[in-house]
């Protein structure tokens, strides 16, 4: 018991409260910078941030309120599905689930990913002038993207939790078919929100989908940071993990900006308008 108490004290001491406060100030400042920086609009900044990871083809995009979303229809679906699935998992108490869904549910999720891949290759074939199976449509891109985002979040979160947390939470991210059905209203709501083309949903969709990309990239960064720091399976609270995630998130922003700048430079070099 003494050893356990000492360990807990050491872990708490490794993340002083001032670090949490400093991170909070940093993110508030970052939010203020994104919102109040003079010049381009918030949508233009989001489009620039996302441009390195998305082709942003105008014909493959939705236009709520007459404004193009920062991501194409397929990527909007993927990352909107990803972030909303995470929100549902955490709000239903499965944020620390360490078990992937049962095999039968994994197969269904895999079918959704395969459908996205088929639709993507079919669309690419048309763009390149090759024979294709059917006429692509943004509704198909969005729908298969949403299912893929659901699969990404429900499969990746348990793997990440196994790397981070001390205590074993033997919950599954999607334990039953009934729990899988709980995600359908959320995905359907996202689908109709995007396809409504209403200006009311423009900024929520733009911010949520971009946040989805940032969280996905941050999660990859976090795996490397935890591995390099040799802190695997040592965290007991979110407060202890926050400094590491803060670094991963900041790196994700830098990586996305670097990719956007690289894409812009390549297009300029090739004489292609950005």
Tell me: the pLDDT tens digits for 198-218?
Answer: 999 999 999 999 999 999 999
For residue 10, being part of any structural domain is answered with no
Query: Does residue 159 form part of some domain?
Result: yes
User: Within a domain: residue 39?
Assistant: no
Residues of the chain predicted below pLDDT 70? 1-39, 274
Q: Is residue 6 part of a domain?
A: no
How confident is the model at residue 154, as a pLDDT? 96
How many residues are given for the chain?
274
* SS3 state at 99: strand
d(C-alpha 238, C-alpha 245), whole Å: 10
Other CB atoms within 10 A of residue 237 CB: 13
pTM score: 0.87
In a domain, 245, yes or no: yes
Residue 132 is part of which domain span? 45-55+63-270
Q: Is residue 2 part of a domain?
A: no
Using CA atoms, how far apart are residues 95 and 128, in angstroms rounded to an integer?
42
Give domain status of residue 24, yes or no: no
Whether 37 is in a domain gets the answer no
Instruction: Please give the structure tokens belonging to residue 60.
Output: 């493959």
Q: How many domains does the chain have?
A: 1
Do residues 17 and 8 make contact, with C-beta atoms less than 8 angstroms apart? no
């Amino acid at each position: 018991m003494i050893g356990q108490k000492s360990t807990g004290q050491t872990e708490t001491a490794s993340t002083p409260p001032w670090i949490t406060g400093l991170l909070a100030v940093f993110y508030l400042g970052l939010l203020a910078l994104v919102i109040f920086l003079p010049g381009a609009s918030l949508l233009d900044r989001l489009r620039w941030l996302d441009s390195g990871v998305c082709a942003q083809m105008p014909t493959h995009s939705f236009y709520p309120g007459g404004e193009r979303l920062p991501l194409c229809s397929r990527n909007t679906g993927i990352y909107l599905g990803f972030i909303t699935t995470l929100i549902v998992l955490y709000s239903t108490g499965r944020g620390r689930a360490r078990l992937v869904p049962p095999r039968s549910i994994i197969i269904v999720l895999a079918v959704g990913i395969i459908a996205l891949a088929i639709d993507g290759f079919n669309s690419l074939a048309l763009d390149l002038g090759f024979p294709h199976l059917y006429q692509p449509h943004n509704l198909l891109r969005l729908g298969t993207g949403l299912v893929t985002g659901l699969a990404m979040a429900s499969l990746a979160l348990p793997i990440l939790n196994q790397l981070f947390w001390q205590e074993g939470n033997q919950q599954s991210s999607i334990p039953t078919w009934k729990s899988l059905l709980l995600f359908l209203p959320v995905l359907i709501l996202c689908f109709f929100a995007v396809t409504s083309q209403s200006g009311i949903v423009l900024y929520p969709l733009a911010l949520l989908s971009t946040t989805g990309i940032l969280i996905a990239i941050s999660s990859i960064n976090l795996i490397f940071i935890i591995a390099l720091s040799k802190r695997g399976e040592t965290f007991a609270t979110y407060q202890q993990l926050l400094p590491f995630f803060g670094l991963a998130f900041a790196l994700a922003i830098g990586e996305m900006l670097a990719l956007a700048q690289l894409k812009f430079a390549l297009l300029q070099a090739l004489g292609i308008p950005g």
